Chain A
Amino acid sequence: MTTIFDVPVQAFLGQLLIGLINGSFYAMLSLGLAIIFGMLKIINFAHGAQFMVGAFAGYLLLKGIGVGYWPALILAPLVVGLASAAIERIALSRLYNLDHLYSLLFTFGLALTLEGAFRYFFGASGQPYAVPKELAGGYNLGFMFLPKYRAWVVLASLVICIASWLLIEKTKLGAYLRASTENPTLVRTFGINVPLLLTFTYGMGAALAGLAGMLAAPIYQVSPLMGSNLIIVVFAVVVVGGMGSILGAIITGYMLGILEGLTKVFYPEASNIVIFVIMAIILLVRPAGLMGRDA
């Protein structure tokens, strides 16, 4: 059998693909974080909790009123986005003029509160969410068994990432957004409602987290802690990609996912630290991150 570094080439290909799948989640989550940080200069520690709420929204929609996977894919992010926009309006927007630490602490507190509340009502062992019928089963690729649902996740995340990037870089709305972060006062003189734009941005970033949560529900247990496990990795991805760089977040997300997947073959014990080792190296060599602009 052909081998690469003593690993059969089939296992190698399998792990590469799995890395790509995990990378899709990293990319989607870090994208939302990067958008919020890039536009609002807020380090959104509640991102993991919003991811979790997205998954729970899907679960509750199904269990409570029988709404299936596909409508929930739209509804769950909408719920998370609207709720987060309301929070931005009521609370977060009052903190923009203060030091970054305040908004960081606020979102961190929000995350702990949300996780605590869900744990109180739903317990810690998680809730089941089945894979939708259309996507059950899988393809036998010869070198591995690829569940259809995972293939769908890769596809969906690619589409979402490209669409978000286009929205911000190539549309008029995106141009307004970018302009209002550069110079809010000037943009306001043109008659553009800057606070509304900021609310929209935060809501959209959170909705992306909710969507990722909804996509993750059939793969992971829908549990109150599912976000806190992921959020630290995602922060590392954003830092490596360059704080606030949207393209950087997307590319780094996929890249680190693959790298982590390969580590699981060669040295599994190190698989949860490899991303942080890379982060440390990148910070030493390029403090602004791979695609970040130097401040």
Chain B
Amino acid sequence: MKLTAIAAAVLTAAMAVPASAAEFSDGKVKIGILNDQSGVYADFGGKWSYEAAKMAAEDFGGKVRGVPIEIVTADHQNKPDIASNISRQWYDREQVDAIMELTTSSVALAVQGISKSKKKINLVTGAATTELTGKQCSPYGFHWAYDTHALAVGTGGALVSQGGDSWYFLTADYAFGYSLEEQTAKFVKSKGGEVKGSVRHPLSTTDYSSFLLQAQSSGAKVIGLANAGLDTANSIKQAAEFGIVAGGQRLAALLFTLSEVHGLGLDAAQGLTLTESFYWDRDDQSREFAERFFKRTGRMPNMVHAGTYSGVMQYLKAIEQVGSDATEPVAKAMHEMPVDDVFARNAKVGANGRLISDVYLMEVKKPEESKREWDYYKVLATVPGDEAYIKPAESGCELVGQ
């Protein structure tokens, strides 16, 4: 009797493995983290996002429905052609099931196009453009963490309510800078604010003193920095030097995260206003996650790192629920399932693939207010997800309403 029971158990177990494995292509779930690991965005996302993705896989138990999870990574050097080649290779030859992170808008759009045509899931955390969930949306494409619209609403709209009602823009002289300025200006005006002017600076300028001087003499209450990366860092550092914040004007960085604040130091960055969708010191859950992240990387996560963790987690949860890694059902589940984890609380995914979660307007602390390393932000306002992101119905994505 006992023998029969054991035999039956063994038999069931033996049958169970091939049965479930059959639902999974090549017997594993493989996720590719593709981003900039050597250029200007290497700290913004970079290998830290890869680490966050590995954490998610480990926290999930290393396996989903008994099938091992594997995370791979590559550096796209901010070049869409390189990114396209890597994604094709991953999808065609290396059985990668989904590609994530994808810092830099041009890269994200290219890879989303490829994923769409190959019917694969991609999840963007590092790129800003709203096109990903607008005209160029994909039924298998998801956009996590932030976008230019959320940044504009957060910094542009919410800051006006805080009294910053006249603006002057320092704008990087290329498409990204223009669109950031335009969107932010729109929200400033819609809240009753005024735009006093703007100056366009070439990409990768080292000295901003002339531009800052023009911004200073404009008398605007807020100087909006519609640039990115090292350009923003240098503008802020030099603004501190020329006493702009000390003189009563407020600096608002339109795309700036914890990683860059850390690079700049509080002396230069104090008083800066910015928008992020995650802060590690938000509650016990986020602190616990951040401490574990810190142990592995020596730094605290910003919204891109935490967003990548959340994206990988959600993808695995969807697979768990569906019991397969087939694209169509998993994408469907990801659209329907609520998102509730360390990154996004009570969040949902729109029909256009946009994760709709709260964003926070932050102010960088003064050095004396900071109690420990990485204690950088004061939360000025919380912008609910529904206000921060374009409504799926108005996004221009043709999938909405189908």
A: residues with CB less than 8 A from B are: 8, 10-11, 14-15, 18-19, 21-22, 116, 119, 123-128, 130-131, 138, 144-145, 147, 149-150, 219-221, 223, 225-226, 229-230, 261, 264-265, 268-269, 271-273
Contact = CB atoms under 8 A, between A and B. Distances in A.
Given A21-B207, A144-B213, A223-B230, 18 more contacts: A8-B217, A11-B213, A18-B209, A19-B210, A21-B209, A116-B38, A119-B38, A124-B39, A124-B41, A124-B43, A125-B43, A138-B241, A219-B207, A219-B237, A221-B237, A229-B206, A261-B210, A268-B201
A15 B230 contact: no
A273 B247 CA distance: 32
Contacts of A18: 207, 209-210, 213
Contact of B265 (A119, A130, A225, A229): A130
A67 B199 CA distance: 39
Contact of B229 (A125, A150, A220, A273): A125
Nearest to A271: B202
Contacts of B206: 220, 226, 229-230
Contacts of B210: 15, 18-19, 261, 264-265, 268, 271
Interface of B: 38-44, 46, 173, 199-202, 204-207, 209-211, 213-214, 216-217, 229-230, 233-234, 237-238, 241-243, 247, 259-260, 262-265, 267-268
Given A18-B213, A123-B43, A128 B201 contact: no
A226 B42 CA distance: 15
B197 to A, nearest CB: 12
B230 A272 contact: no
Given A126-B264, A145-B243, A221-B234, A269 B200 contact: yes
Contact of A124 (B40, B216, B237, B243): B40
B39 A128 contact: no
Given A125-B263, A219-B238, A221-B263, A272 B202 contact: yes
Contacts of A15: 210, 213
Given A11-B213, A223-B230, A268-B211, A128 B200 contact: no
In the A-B complex, the 3 residue pairs with the smallest Cβ-Cβ separation, listed nearest first, are A128-B265, A125-B263, A264-B210
26 contacts: A11-B213, A14-B213, A18-B209, A21-B209, A22-B207, A123-B263, A124-B40, A124-B41, A125-B44, A125-B230, A128-B265, A128-B268, A130-B265, A131-B241, A145-B216, A145-B242, A150-B241, A219-B207, A220-B206, A221-B237, A221-B264, A225-B40, A225-B230, A229-B204, A268-B211, A273-B202
A272 B233 contact: no
A226 B46 CA distance: 20
Most buried by B among A150, A220, A264: A264
Nearest to B38: A119
A125 B233 contact: yes
A124 B229 CA distance: 9
Contacts of B217: 8, 10-11
A79 to B, nearest CB: 23
B267 A128 contact: yes
Contacts of B265: 128, 130
B388 to A, nearest CB: 25
Contacts of B263: 123, 125-128, 221, 223
A130 B209 CA distance: 17
A241 B108 CA distance: 44
B38 A149 contact: no
Nearest to A221: B233
A244 B358 CA distance: 59
A150 B201 CA distance: 21
